[in-house]
Amino acid sequence: MTITMKRESMNVMATARRALGLAAGALMAATVASAQVQQTAGGWRIGASTGGYVPHSSLIRAADSNDTRLGSGPAFSLDLQYLASGLLSVYVNGVVSSGTIKLGSSIRPSVVGPSNQVMVGAGTAGVVLAPNNWFGDHIQPTLRLGGGFKWYSFDLAETRSQVRPTIDIGLGLRGVGTGPIEVTAEVRYLMSSFDQGKLPTRGIAPQAQRQSDLVFAVGFGIRP
């Protein structure tokens, strides 16, 4: 295992620990609520969250293990849900993250600046399942299933931005109380592909590389 892979693994572990710590605090706050809110069809839920965006796959895998890959970065998300029934909501979500790209041996050596910054975003839609009474009166598990598009915007010479289809799968917990405010904790898996031909490669035949990303998020929701 290379030093780069070890550093990426440490970054993933650190981000996961921070997200789990924040989630634990949020869920503890939710459990002090006095009663569970009964969900009725036809209501709206607006949510916002922050956390970490962790790319799990290399953009270009090199024979010498000096891969080209994205680094972890902060993530921010907005979520709009419509409660279609007591169990199921329809959602539209947007997430954005700013990070960096680490250039490996498959990138042309002449490529420099102006910076290695990368903006990654995703827009998805689908359904959220939230059954009641699984973990007591104040905590609901959530399952997110959807799809949409992921885009990459580079600030690096000789690169082109791209938009790719993505699958959005999330598991989380929601703290429910008597008021309109909820607390949320979620891990999302965004699976897509990456067009290596948008990068200034050398010595390889560019292809569509599988790109799997994780989003750790803690936030709140409001039921108007």
Token pair recorded at residue 40: 């009725």
CATH of 3-222, one of 3.10.180.10, 3.10.200.10, 2.40.160.20, 3.60.20.10: 2.40.160.20
From the first residue on, what is the mean pLDDT of each consecutive set of 10 residues in the chain (224 residues)? 43 47 45 40 88 94 92 96 91 96 92 90 96 78 97 93 96 84 96 94 91 95 84
Residue whose structure tokens are 């490996």: 104
47-147-16-87 Cα dihedral, nearest 10 degrees: 50
Cα–Cα dist 207/201, whole Å? 11
Cα–Cα dist 165/163, whole Å? 7
Q: Can you give the residue ranges of every domain in the chain?
A: 3-222
- The phi, psi pair for 18, rounded to 5°, reads -65, -45
**Which residues contact residue 217 at a Cβ distance below 8 angstroms, ignoring those fewer than 6 apart?**
19, 49, 50, 51, 75, 77, 184, 185, 186, 187, 188
pLDDT score, position 138: 82
SS3 state at 18: helix
Residue pair 25/172 in contact by the 8 Å Cβ criterion: no
